[in-house]
Every structure is written in structure tokens, then in C-alpha cells.
Structure 1
Amino acid sequence: MRPEEVRGGETVTLTGRHLGESGRLEVDGVALDSAALREWSPSRIVFTMPRELPSGMVRVRTEGGLSNALFLINREDIPRLDRQNRLRVALITPRQAGPGDMVTLQGDGFGPRTARSLLEFRSLPGEASPGEASPGEESGREEIFTFGGDQWWIVSWSDRVIRFVVPQELPPGELGLFINGQPGEVSLEVSAPGARLEEGEPREYLLRQRVDFPDSPGPAVLLIPRIPSAPGQVLREEVSLLGTDEGGHSPATWAVLPVFKPREEDSQGDQPDRDLSPDQKDQPEKPRPMVVERVDRLERRSQRWDITASPGRALLEDAGFRRAFRPFLADQEDLPVSAPAIQQIRSRVINLRNPPVPNARRIHQEVLRLLTPDREGTWSWEEALEGEGAAPGAYADLTAALLRSAGIPSRRSWGVLLKDTGETVDHVWVEAFIPRAGWIPLDTALGSGMYGSDPGEGEFSRVLSFYGESLESATFGALDDRRIALRVEGVPDSRRFPQGALLEGPRGFSGGALRLELPPGETIEGDSGQEPVLWHRPDLQN
């Protein structure tokens, strides 16, 4: 980095490797606007130092990961060491906030934002909101809610300022604040959410994710979906692992190296030599199959939301809110919010002056009206709008894009539904963020009758029985417990080998959440006449 000391408005040049063609440049934990970036190439980045930014660490974030940090000094903000390893929170604003509200912490000693950064909220006994049980009251112990610094709702983190959106996971009441394990000596009063949640009894599952390799894939790393903690879903423990834990897991995946398939699974390996002819014994030994298999124990609860608040549009239009929820409002390749077809539907059926709840309900109804369900149909919302039968992915993509076009943050969950027989099918559903309430589910694919509409009949009768007779309306704000989310949109998932090969499962198949990556220059070749990778559908037992 040259120079290492600048004033606001002066130019800084970074040189390095694998910087990509674009990404996110941070100074003191704050991302620079595109206007400050003058040049970006795989080996060089040139930017103008914003006048308002303090001295701090400079980092580059790309699809390939996070760079090392270099310290840049703003000559108008020379750091002074007033205390060593001392945390001080001077101000928290506002003191009271609900889900989706922006909170700012000001002070010093927060440290840089790293993979080990921690933001904790701890219950204060006897400080629950009126009518609410104090967290941990039944157990008589302190309740602790710990979050890593890589959470999407932490908007910015520097040594002196942290900005975050109140996450849905926090219970109402007075919560003490801790940063990297040190007490902040301040508390945040979390308002009761504007929605009542009714949860069912926990249903326990064993989830098996498996990939077979007839031949060795070489120096490959399999990235298995890290079971997300989603509304109504909690990962309990790893039960077993066939594979070598490669370490360096990302927030979205576990990294595992394939191992040789156990002999008891390999029927060819069980044949004794006496069963082979002399000619067969002289044959070159066949490649020994390899495997990765992980089994996890997790818990799922059904959920029904009763939205009691009627938040207006003011928070949706707030600049801080839109910045925090930018990943869930983005116009992206697979969710082209600005596409003419999306904008035409939005302008025809949505009044942007209306509050988010009626707009979200209207979008749910409109998607059901526009598309024709077909489990084996297209996953393209554009083709579905032209009359082709729509698979779950088309329903989810159209729903999420319309929500974003109305200014409502949305995210998709990819996973599986459980048949009455115990088999799984691939499924996608959507959640919309309603200010002061939280993430509210919308399952338009299920609401379309794609899996049947009679709760007493068919191979999904147990799923449908949760929703009752009014399937179309009941799939807004409710989610059954006979499904597992394998991936939730918005969780960062960096490439392990940015310049290497990437192989994903088939589109529209839940194995698509599995990724196989190889270093640059490596390829996968099948020498046995079989497919080089055999993706297995996730297996559920309960």
C-alpha cells in the first residue's frame, strides 16, 4: 500500500494478487462507495481516501475471500493510545429498538472486524418487558446470544463505531452488551416484536448428505452445506463423518476431503483372491471408490405467525435500513428486480404507498394467480410466465423478485420436503422481512397445490394437514416441520480456489447445494465409465 499516510481526498494504491475484477474495499470496517474507486484489476486497486473516514485497517473482500489487513493513517485523525486493551462504549443510540431497527455503538477499543470478532447480548434477570417472560427465567440462568462479526446484519465495525440491525433472534427485554467477551457497561432494550409466534413441538431429524466418487477426484475439496440456523430450525450435533475435515470452513459450508470408501461398503473389495482367475489377478487394480458423507442431528418446529403490528413504509425507505438489508434488496442475475416483466407486474398490482404487510400478501396472491404448478416443470420464472409449468424454484424466484421490487427485503431457502413415505423432494421457499416483526415465510409453491390440496390424501398429506383446507392463504406466515433448509440466501460462501474448477450438483436438485472445488489446473475425469461424481439426495430420518 502506497502511501501509508494520507489526507482526505488523496489517492492510495494497493498492489497484490488475486484481487479479482470487483469486490468490496473496506477502510476501518466501512465499505467505500464506488465513486471513491478509481481503478480495480486483479493486481492493482486505486482509490481516493474519503475525508470522513478515520485511520484504520484496509481490507479487500472478493468472491475469493478476505485479504490481509494493512493500516492506513488519515493525517487528520492520528491514532493515539489512551488505554491498552480497554473497551469503552460511550453511547448507544437508540436505547430501545425492535427487529429491523438500526443501532449505533460509539466508543473505542472495539478492535477490527475479523473472523473472531464477537458481539454478545446477555439477559439481565428481572428486566423483561411487561407481559414477557425474562430470558432464562425458567431455567434460572443467564441467557447468552453470541454472534460472529461476519453476520450480515452487522452493517459496519471499526475500532470506534459499530452499526447493526437488531436481529430477529433476540428476545424482548433488557440485554447487556459484550464486545469480544468484554462488558460494554451498557444495555439495549429490545422491544417486543410486532408479531406473535406459535411454535409446535420439536421434531428431531437425522440428515445425511453424501457424494460418491467412482474414481479419485484428485486434490478436491467438497463443500457441504453448513446446516443453517433458520427460523424453526436448529442444528444440534454432528453424528458421523466419512471424510477428512479440511478446516477453514466458511459460514455457509463445511470443507471435507474425500476418503476411500469403507471396505464393508465396497462389494468389489470383499471378493477373495481365490474367486479370481490367474488372468484376472494380473489385471491392474481397479480404482478404489471414494466418498464423503456427513450425518447431522437437527431439530425442526412448525411455525405460525400472527402479525399484530402494522408498520408503515418509513423504515423500509430509511437509508440505514436499506444499507443493512442490501443483500436482500439487490438486483442480481438470478433475481433481476429491474427486469421489465417484474416492473410491469409490480406497477399493476402493488401500491408503493401501502405498508409492507398488505403488499406482501398481495404479491403472494398474485404469484399463485400467474403461475401453473408442475413439480417437473421449469425453474425459470420467465418461462413460467409464458405458460410453462412452474417448478418450486420458479415460484420462489418470482416471489422474491416482486417483494424486492416493492422495497421489501426477501431471501430464499433451498432444501427438501419430506413425503409421508420418508423420501425427500427438492423445494424452495421465501421469507420476507417485515419491520418490527422479523422474517415471515411465504411458500407460494406449496400454496399453489403443487403437492396436492387435500390434507387427507396423497403422498404429502402430513405436510398439507398442518395448513388445513385454505392452503393458498395458510402458506403466508406459516411453515410446517416436515422440511429442512440446506441453504439460506445471504450467508457468505467464498470460493476456496478462486481460479480453480467448480462443480455443482444438477440444477433443480438439492445436490446443487453441494460444491466440489479443485485447485487451478486440476480436472475431474471418470476412468471407470461412470459419472465422475454421484450426488445423493439428502436423506432424512425422524
Structure 2
Amino acid sequence: MAVFTPLKNLLKDQRSLPVLFLLLLIGLYVFSSQMIEQSPRIESITPEVGAPGKVLVISGEHFGTERNGAEVIFAGTRPNSTSYVEWTENRISVRIPEDVGSGKLYVRIGNKASNSVLFTNSRHIPKQLSGPAAPGMPYVASLDNPGGPIGSVVSIRGLNFGSEQGSGRVYFSSTIAQNDQGREVIDRGIICSLADFDYESWEDQAIEVRVPDNATSGSIRVLTDRGVSNALYFEVTDLAGDRILREKRGYQINYTVEIEEADASPGNSLNLWIPNVMKSPTQDNLEAVRDPIPLWEDYNGVARYRLQELEPWRRYTVSVTYWLDRTALETRIVPSRIISEYDRDWRLYRVYTSPDSYVPSATREIETMSARAIGRESNPYLKARNIFRVITRDFAPSAAGNDTVALFLENRQGDSFDYARLYTAMLRASGVPARIISGCYIFGDSTTSFHYWVEFYVPGFGWVPSDPFIGDGGYGEEPEVDDPQEYYFANVDNRRIAFSRGIIELRPTDPGSRLNVKSRIYSLQTIHEEAVGNISSYQSRWFPVRVIDRW
């Protein structure tokens, strides 16, 4: 009992209570520091560009005093145990593996992984030529800047690019993590996008382009009708996060358009503008069979079919079958790394923050709702998250849609098109570029539904997908996700197929043609059907996408 007497006396003396409270806090801090295992963190690597066989030094913290089975992963490649030269709490020295690629490097200790940094194999850096490989071939002589973030402008100097762009394109490297273990998928290149207005100017000896969405450090090449240029190395900097592709799934699909009961006389034709499946990092290995063969196979992502001399007793069918791989896309974005300011002179910003025929972002009601949702937030990613939460809180999914966004606001119930239009409108009203993605959703029993979701643009990162309708439980328990509201912001699953991003702008082939635009199908376009000549009327049916096989 004598041992506890001083403690009892201290407790009785109220003046001693602050001292006891301070001692208790210190004890808790020491205890928690000992109990909590810190995740490793990389501060820098030296060199950032290295050759296989050379020693690379990783500086950081929480690596542990001994290796004990921990490892460094280079772009999905694990060095063998004899490659490690040094392993301390703040420093790791390891020889670069012989078969290593270029990509993300990180440290894994047990089930904890560090942040990732970019490593480049110096053997992958292209050797600069002194001139074109052959007469007339495009040649890249220099870049005005060897690096920059997504969306920044790069000036390419050289020869034989052509006085006009025409079919010319600029390629960047693209590497996206395939899974949490760091295995990489290295694309042959990502093309600067016309839909994103990546091309600023094109002259025979100079091109100005924006670093495209999904670009990573690696080669820049110019492609013209004369061939592909040499490559120069470009480093993509200031990334605000990562993309991860998961759960690849294969599909064979078919979609069909039927025309019948044509009231027509000789001298008529009907153009059908039928969308192609969109190629992207999440939709790859596309193969298509089209019947009949289209007049134009790919014009702004759409195939043009021309039916001539329609007869009233005949039924005309256009059938398209695709085989493709589809993956889920997850993003890991660090909001504090995001560049908050947009380049307001970029056409992408001007177009995708302005109202259009589907997105009434300039109405007073939308502007007021958007302002309330974002409050004082200035970070575009956090603005988008706040708006997503407001929509999934204040509205309810329904199988029936509304004709206008105003009716959706009044009824408070709507389908995926309503959710996508409202989310896009509120994002644009808040100054965040956004657009509707159109396509279909594939259910567990292989039936499909026309479906719409959204992507918004984050400066220095690129486009971020979100699906407020499914995030709000739009298809009930169909998506096998624990927390749909959390998952479907900044992530999408592999059970969807995209046909269009934003509105596909098409021009009539004949100034006297009569145009028809379809609503709530798998692609937003300015034209779906174009009747030319002596056609008074006809019946058309655009059938939902049909799943033939999946694997």
C-alpha cells in the first residue's frame, strides 16, 4: 500500500492534475509510436535514369534496419537477393536488374508499399539521329522543353511534318499499372487527341501539342503519311496520382440498325452514322466485322453507311460485331498535388466548361446548386467529389428518365442520362471541364442497358471517370461493390462499353439532307440518320447492344 501513497496524494492535490495529464499523453505517444508500423516512404532515387547493372540509391524513411524479405520493385521487376548492396532505415542501394523496363519504382515491406517514383532505363531513351531516315520522312530534331505535366504545351522542331496536319499525329509513350503488385502494361503509344484539342498548331518544321491524357515519360514520335519519325525522350512531370487497370474481361458484342417501310422514289439515299466502339487504355484489342462494309470506316469515331435506292417492301439491316478487352479503371489521386489553375486559353477548357444542347450549365438554378455544393473549395478534384456527394444524396435513381434537366430537378428521380447530364452541368458551372460518356452497361445475365457516366478533367493528371447513377445504387445490387458511392467516384468497373466522349460533331454530306438525331442510345452525336433525295418517310430501329460471348 505504501507504494501507491504518493500517487494518491498527487490525485488529491488538484494542482498536480495537469502534470499527470501531460505524463499520460507522453506515455501514450511513446506507446503508439512503438506499436504503429510506419509505411516506407521514398524521397528520391539516384540516378533517375540508369542502366542495368548499375547501383541505384533510394533515399527515404521507414525502410527498416535490415531487409528481412522486403524488396524494391522496378516497373514490375523484382531484383534477386544478391542485387541488394545496402539496406538501412533511410537508404537502400540495389543493382538495376538486366531485364528491367521503365516505369514506377516502389519499396514493399510485408503488406505495406511506399509511394512510387518514376524510373527510366537509359537503354530505352531513343538515340537522336542527325537527319531523316529517308527523303521525305518526318524527323524530330528537338523539343523546346524536355519535360512537363499532362496538358502542358510542347513545341516539336524538325523536318517534313507537312504544311497541314491532315492525317498527321503525334505519339507519346503510355504506361499504366496493371495491378497493385506493380506489373506494368506498356502501350506502343498514346495519340494526341483531336477530341481533347491537343493540337495547337502544325507546320512543316514545327508542331505545338499538349501532353495528352494517359501519357507517361518516354518517347515522342511524329507520324505522317510518309512514315514515322525518330523518337526523342520526354519526361512527364508533376503527376498528381496514378491510374490502375484491373480485372480484364473479354466481350463479343453486336449492335444492329434496321430500316424499313421507306416511302421513297428513285433518286434517294440514306446515310446511317453508326458509332464505333471507342479505343482507349480501358478498351483494347478491338476487332470488328461490319455488314455491309461502310462507306467510311472511321470518321470522328463513327462509321458512315450509305443505303441507296430504298424500296418500300424491303428491310435493310446494318450489323456490327466487336471483340474487345475491357478493364476496370481506378485512380489514386493526391489532392494536395493537383495544380488548381486551368489554362483557360486551351480549347478543351473553353468547350467543356460551356453549355451545350445536352448540358445546361449556365442556368441560374444549376449555378446556384453548384456554388452551394462546392462552398469555398478551389481544388477541382475536391469540387467534383463534393458535387458527386450532393447528387447521390439529394436524388434517387429510376428506370424512367426525364426529358430535360429541369424536370429531373423537379422530380428528383431519373435514369443514368439524367444523372450524367446534371453532374456534368454542375461541374462545368463550377469551372471544372466535364463531359458525358455514352455506351452500355452489361449485367450479370449478359443483358444490357444504354448507360451514361461522366469524366472530368484535372490539370496535371487528365480525365477522371465517375458514375453517379450506379454510385447512387441505380442498378440495385448488380455491381458487386461494397460501397458504390465511394467506389464510383473517380473509378469505373469493367462491365461497361463506351462509344462516345462528349458529343461527336458530324457534318451533313448534302446541304439539302434531312437529319435525325436519336436520344438515349449508346452514342451522343449531332447526326444519326441523314436522308438525301426522294425519301418522304421511313422507320428505323436502333437495337440495344447484345452480348454474344464473354470471358
**Taking structure 1 as the reference length, what is the TM-score of the superposition?**
0.67
Quote the Cα distance in structure 1 between the aligned partners of 2:235 and 2:524: 41
Residues 498 and 350 of structure 1, relative CA distance in 2, 3 Å threshold? farther
Q: CA deviation at 1:492?
A: 4.2
- Whether the aligned pair in 1 keeps the contact of 2:291 and 2:320 (CA below 8 Å) is yes
- Deviation string 1:372-412 (CA, Å, 9 cap, x unpaired) is 32121314221111125212111111111111122211111
Distance in structure 2 (CA, Å) of the matches to 1:159 and 1:352: 47
In structure 1, what is the Cα distance between the partners aligned to 2:361 and 2:274?
A: 30
> Given the alignment, which residue of 276, 284, 301 partners 1:252?
301
The answer to whether the 8 Å contact 2:515/2:528 transfers is: yes
Cα separation, 2, equivalents of 1:219 and 1:189: 51
Q: Check conservation: 2:199, 2:208, Cα contact below 8 A.
A: yes
The aligned residue for residue 225 of structure 1 is 275
- Counterpart code for 2:237: S
Please identify which structure carries the higher strand content. 2
Please state if 1:384 is matched with 2:387.
no
Measured in 1, the distance between the counterparts of 2:442 and 2:205 equals 48
Give 1:182 shift: 4.9
Q: Please show how residues 168-207 of structure 1 align to structure 2 within 5 Å.
A: 168-170=213-215, 172-180=216-224, 181-183=227-229, 186-191=232-237, 193-207=239-253
Letter in 2 for 1:237: E
Contact 1:85 1:109 in 2 (8 A): yes
The equivalent residue for 1:104 is 155
User: 1:136-177 CA deviation, whole Å, 9 max, x = no partner?
Assistant: 5xxxxx93445577763223323354222211232x323143
Work out whether residues 91 and 107 of structure 1, in 8 Å CA contact, stay in contact via their aligned partners in 2: yes
CA gap 1:509/1:93 in 2 versus in 1, 3 angstroms: same
Count of aligned positions: 404
Deviations 1:188-244, CA, capped at 9 Å, x for gaps: 212374222232232111121211223457411211102112451225111x32224
**Aligned-residue offset at 1:86:** 7.5
Matched, 1:297 2:323: yes
| Structure 2 segments unaligned to the other structure (5+ residues) | 1-134, 176-180
Distance 2:444 2:321 in 1: 21
Per the normalisation by structure 2, the TM-score is 0.66
Question: Structure 1, residues 298-327: CA drift from partner, whole Å, max 9, x if none?
Answer: 1111122111353445431x334x334333
How far 1:484 sits from its partner (Å)?
A: 1.0
Give identity over the alignment, percent: 21
SS at match of 2:351: helix
Q: Which residue of 2 aligns with 1:472?
A: 485
Q: Does the Cα contact within 8 Å between 1:416 and 1:427 map onto a contact in 2? A: yes
Q: 1:426 to 1:435 in 2, by over 3 A?
A: same
| CA spacing shift, 1:354–1:150, aligned 2, 3 Å | closer
Deviation, structure 1 residue 488: 1.5
Q: What amino acid is aligned across from residue 479 of structure 1 in structure 2?
A: V
Query: Which protein has greater RCO, CA pairs closer than 8 Å, 6+ apart?
Result: 1
Equivalent residue for 1:533, pick from 537, 540, 545: 540
- Could you tell me how far apart the structure 1 residues matched to 2:524 and 2:143 are? 43
The CA deviation at 1:424 is 0.9
Q: How does 1:310-459 map to 2 (within 5 A)?
A: 310-316=336-342, 318-320=343-345, 322-351=346-375, 354-452=378-476, 455=477
Letter in 1 for 2:286: R
Contact 1:370–1:385 (Cα < 8 Å) also in 2: no
1: distance between equivalents of 2:453 and 2:193? 26
CA shift, 1:115, in A, is 3.3
Letter in 2 for 1:502: L
CA drift of 1:427 comes to: 1.1
**Following TM superposition, by how much is the alpha carbon of 1:121 offset from its aligned partner in structure 2, in angstroms?**
3.5
Change (3 A) 1:241 1:97: same
Which 5+ residue runs of structure 1 have no aligned equivalent? 1-83, 125-130, 137-141, 262-284, 456-460, 527-531
2:375 and 2:412 map into 1 onto residues whose CA distance is 28
Which residue pairs with 1:79 in the alignment?
A: none
AA aligned to 1:477 is: A
Partner of 1:166: 211
Secondary structure at the residue paired with 2:507? coil
**Greater Rg over alpha carbons, structure:** 2
Question: 1:499 corresponds to which letter in structure 2?
Answer: G
Residues 325, 491 of structure 1: alpha-carbon distance in 2 compared, 3 angstrom cutoff: farther
Tell me if structure 2 keeps the 8 A contact 1:235–1:299. yes
Which residue is 1:152 aligned to?
197
Q: Which of 506, 514, 523 is the matching residue for 1:493?
A: 506
- C-alpha distance 110-439 of structure 1, shift in aligned 2 (>3 A): same
Q: Deviations for 1:55-108, whole angstroms, at most 9, x for unmatched residues?
A: xxxxxxxxxxxxxxxxxxxxxxxxxxxxx9575656534321232223233456
Change (3 A) 1:220 1:291: same
What is the rounded CA distance, in whole Å, between the counterparts of 1:311 and 1:89 in structure 2? 32
Task: Give the aligned residue type for 1:334.
Answer: Y
- The corresponding residue for 2:171 is 120
